[in-house]
């Protein structure tokens, strides 16, 4: 799948590093996040620019009906941004797929690829720790609510129950070492690992349609025997403006389908 960004801006003045340094790519799937994006983008810029690391933030506007795209363009002079627009809402999985495939077209093997929720519930302050964990030998780093020291604030009870139930069932079914939080959207990957997975699975890298996409990616990466570690995440759902986009029962059905599926194989 080839996707052309509709807008690109790069302010290189705050992130100058040596030519061999790895770049951090941050993928933000966004649907009606005009209120939540400004503090998140400002936080990412503050954290990554302070560290002197080259980085690019890729926002996928998944058919928003608010000013999401305008907010991204307004931030173009403050940090390196790339905006991709879906003309209609296609769901979280397609937004993640678009963002990853665009990033992998430009990323070097040693680069870092981060996914975050665009609703300001994920703190950018974790980014240096996650990148450091990759540099220390991890292949995937998960910001986990369930790691020692992790927490959830403002999460509705049904969402809490769903997350824990999914985690238990996924552990029983797939037993990925080092994973407690299968559904967290806040992760860091070695670019070479995602490139290898994209080469192996092709168009089948992401087959989910909604929120099960994060668990599906972990299951498919299992074929490469990655070293996965978790860092504690304090999920700040109380900072989120606007309602949840998750359709609970549709998400449950999707996870059940993943649990019942055969171990993923390479694409044909």
Per residue in 196-243, pLDDT tens?
999 999 999 999 888 889 999 999 999 999 999 999 999 887 776 665
pLDDT given at position 249: 58
126 or 268, greater pLDDT:
126
* Domains of the chain and CATH, by start: 7-260 (3.90.550.10)
How far is Cα 42 from Cα 172, in angstroms, rounded to an integer? Answer: 39
pLDDT > 80? residue 152: yes
Q: What integer pLDDT is reported at residue 19 of this predicted model?
A: 39
Segment 44-72 shows an average pLDDT of 94
Q: What is the pLDDT of residue 241?
A: 65
- What pLDDT does 210 receive? 81
Global pTM? 0.86
Handedness of CA 130, 136, 142, 147 (dihedral sign): negative
Residue 214 CA to residue 52 CA, distance in Å, equals: 29
Decide: residue 148, CB within 10 A, 0-12 exposed, 13-18 middle, 19+ buried: exposed
Span of 81-95, 173-187, 250-264 with lowest mean pLDDT? 250-264
């Amino acid at each position: 799948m080839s996707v052309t960004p509709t807008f690109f801006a790069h302010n290189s003045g705050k992130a100058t590093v040596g030519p061999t340094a790895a770049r951090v790519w941050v993928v933000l799937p966004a649907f009606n996040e005009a209120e939540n994006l400004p503090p998140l983008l400002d936080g990412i810029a503050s954290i990554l620019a302070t560290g002197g690391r080259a980085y690019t933030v890729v926002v996928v506007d998944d058919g928003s009906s608010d000013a999401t795209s305008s907010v991204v363009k307004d931030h173009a002079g403050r940090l390196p941004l790339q905006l991709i627009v879906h003309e209609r809402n296609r769901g979280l999985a397609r937004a993640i797929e678009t963002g990853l495939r665009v990033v992998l077209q430009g990323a070097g093997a040693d680069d870092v690829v981060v996914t975050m929720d665009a609703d300001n519930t994920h703190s950018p302050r974790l980014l240096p720790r996650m990148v450091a964990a990759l540099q220390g030998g991890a292949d995937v780093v998960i910001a986990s609510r369930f790691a020692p020291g992790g927490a959830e604030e403002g999460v509705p009870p049904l969402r809490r129950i769903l997350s824990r139930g999914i985690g238990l069932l996924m552990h029983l079914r797939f037993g990925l070492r080092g994973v407690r939080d299968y559904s967290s959207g806040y992760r860091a990957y070695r670019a070479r690992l995602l490139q290898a997975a994209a080469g192996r699975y092709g168009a089948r890298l992401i087959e989910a349609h909604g929120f099960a996409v994060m668990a599906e990616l972990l299951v498919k990466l299992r074929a490469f025997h990655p070293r996965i570690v978790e860092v504690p995440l304090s999920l700040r759902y109380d900072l989120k403006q606007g309602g949840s986009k998750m359709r609970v029962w549709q998400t449950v059905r999707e996870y059940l389908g993943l649990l019942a599926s055969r171990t993923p194989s390479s694409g044909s």
